[in-house]
Amino acid sequence: MNTFFDMHCHILPGVDDGAKDFDTALKMIKAAYDDGIRHICFTPHRNPYKKCRSTRSITDVYREFSEAISSSGMEMETILGSEIMYYSDFVSDIENGTCFTIGNSKYVLLEFPENADFSELFEAARKVSSLGYIPIIAHPERYSCIEKKPSLLGTLSENGFLMQFNSGLFAPSHKKDFLTVFRRNRIKKYIFAHKPACIVASDAHDLARRKPSLSAAYDAVLKKCGKDYAQSSFFDIPASIFYNS
Check: CB of residue 212 under 8 Å from CB of residue 202. yes
Summarised one tens digit per residue, pLDDT across range 208-217 is 989 999 999 9
Whether the pLDDT of residue 178 is over 70: the answer is no
Check: CB of residue 113 under 8 Å from CB of residue 140. no
Q: What is the radius of gyration, based on Cα positions, of the chain?
A: 17
Whether the pLDDT of residue 66 is over 90: the answer is yes
Report pLDDT for 175: 63
Q: How far apart are CA 211 and CA 196, in angstroms?
A: 25
Q: What is the end-to-end Cα distance of the chain in Å, rounded?
A: 20
Whether the pLDDT of residue 181 is over 70: the answer is no
Report pLDDT for 88: 84
Domain ranges of the chain: 4-242
Average pLDDT over residues 165-176: 85
Report pLDDT for 234: 98
Return the closest-CA partner of residue 203 out of 5, 6, 9: 9
Average pLDDT over residues 58-79: 96
Average pLDDT over residues 18-25: 96
Summarised one tens digit per residue, pLDDT across range 93-119 is 888 888 899 999 999 999 999 999 999
Average pLDDT over residues 131-147: 96
Residue 51: pLDDT band by 50, 70, 90 thresholds?
Answer: confident
Report pLDDT for 74: 96
Superfamily of domain 4-242: Metal-dependent hydrolases (3.20.20.140)
DSSP 9: E
Whether the pLDDT of residue 130 is over 70: the answer is yes
Report pLDDT for 179: 58
